[in-house]
Chain A
C-alpha cells in the first residue's frame, strides 16, 4: 500500500516522520517530494513572490518618512503633531503600497492559497498499518491524506 500526505513545511512534519519511523516504518519506506510553485518572473530585488508582502515593505518605508514630516508640520497646524503624524502615516503607507502594487501587479502572483501543500510524503506500508499511520499524519497537521492499493 502507498499512503500520500501533503504538508506545509513546519516542525510538525518532522515530528510525524520521527514518530512513524519510531513505530511503524523504516527510513527507506518514505519518499519526500517538494512541490514547487509556478516559477514567476520575480525581480531579484523583491523579497518574496507575494506582491502584498513586498507592497507592505514599501508602504512601511513611505509611512515612516511621511510620519516625520506630518509630526513636524503638526506643531503649527490646528490638530497638533500626533493627529497629523497619524494622518501622514496613513497617507504615506497608502501611497507606498499602491505605487508598488499597481506597478507590479501584472507581473507577479497575486492570489495565493491560504495553506499551500509544500511537501508530499509517500509512505509504503502494509494494509494493517494504514489506520495508525493516518492517525499520526492527521495529528501532525497533514493538509490532505490519500492512499492507493
Chain B
C-alpha cells in the first residue's frame, strides 16, 4: 500500500519527540475537563495546549470559577452565586466545553491517522543531533516520570525529554506554590496547627494544583509508555532491515 502522503509516526526535533499514538478519546476528553489544554498535550498539540492553559488560568481567575467550585462542593450555593463574575463566566464556559469536545474529536481522528501511518513501515531515526540539543528515543521507566512529576510537576516532562513543556510547567508550579501558600501551609500542618494551616491557603490558586499535578503525572507516564513502544518498533525495523535477509540453516 502506498502511504507516501502520510506523515511519519514520530518526529524528533529540537524540542523532543512528537508522535502519534492510539488514544482513548474519552480519556483525552476527561483531561480536557480537568484542565482545558491537557487533552491537547496528550495529543501532542503542544502550542494550542499551552495557549489553552494560559486562557484557562486567566479567565478562571477573572471569573472566580475556582471559588465558586469550592462553595458549590461545600453546599454554600448562595455564596457560589455571588462570587462568580458573569462578565467572564459565560465565555469561560463556552471555551471550556468546546476544548473538551475539540480534544475528543481530535483524538478520534488521530486514532485513524495513527492506524494509517503505522502501516507505512519505514525506518525512522532514533536520534537527532542539533546545534544546541541532542534528542533521542530510549527505553524509559514510566514510573520514574511519575515520581519526578509527583515531587515537582514538570520534572516528569524533563524525564521524557520535553524540556519546553517541562520548564513551562515548573514555572507555573512555582506561581501556584507562591500564590496558594501550599508549602507554608504544609509546614504549619506538620507542626500541628491544622486551623492555621487552612487559613494560610489561598483557595483559588490551591484548586489548580491537584489538576496540574495529576495531569503532569499522567502525561509523563503515558509518554514514557509510548516512547518505549516507538523505540521497540523502530529498532525492530532497523535490525530487520540489516539482518532480515540472512537465512538460518540449523539442520543442513
Contact = CB atoms under 8 A, between A and B. Distances in A.
Interface stretch (B4-12, B52-60, B167-175, B235-243): B235-243
A28 interface: yes
B38 to A, nearest CB: 10
Interface residues of B, number: 52
B123 interface: no
A42 to B, nearest CB: 10
Interface stretch (A73-81, A105-113, A130-138): A73-81
Interface residues of A, number: 48
A82 B34 contact: no
Nearest to B245: A28
A31 B74 contact: no
Most buried by B among A31, A57, A68, A148: A68
20 contacts: A13-B235, A14-B235, A27-B246, A28-B246, A29-B246, A44-B22, A45-B22, A47-B24, A61-B214, A61-B218, A64-B211, A71-B206, A71-B207, A72-B74, A73-B73, A76-B76, A80-B194, A80-B198, A89-B210, A122-B248
Given A64-B34, A71-B210, A81-B206, 18 more contacts: A9-B235, A11-B139, A29-B246, A31-B248, A32-B244, A34-B236, A47-B222, A53-B142, A57-B218, A61-B34, A64-B214, A64-B215, A67-B211, A72-B69, A75-B198, A76-B76, A80-B195, A80-B198
Interface of A: 2, 9-11, 13-14, 17, 27-32, 34, 44-48, 53, 56-57, 60-61, 63-65, 67-69, 71-76, 78-83, 85, 89, 118-119, 122, 148
Interface of B: 22, 24, 27, 30-31, 34, 69-70, 72-74, 76, 138-139, 142, 182, 185-186, 189, 194-195, 197-198, 201, 203, 206-207, 209-211, 213-215, 217-218, 221-222, 225-226, 231-232, 235-236, 239-240, 242-244, 246-248, 250
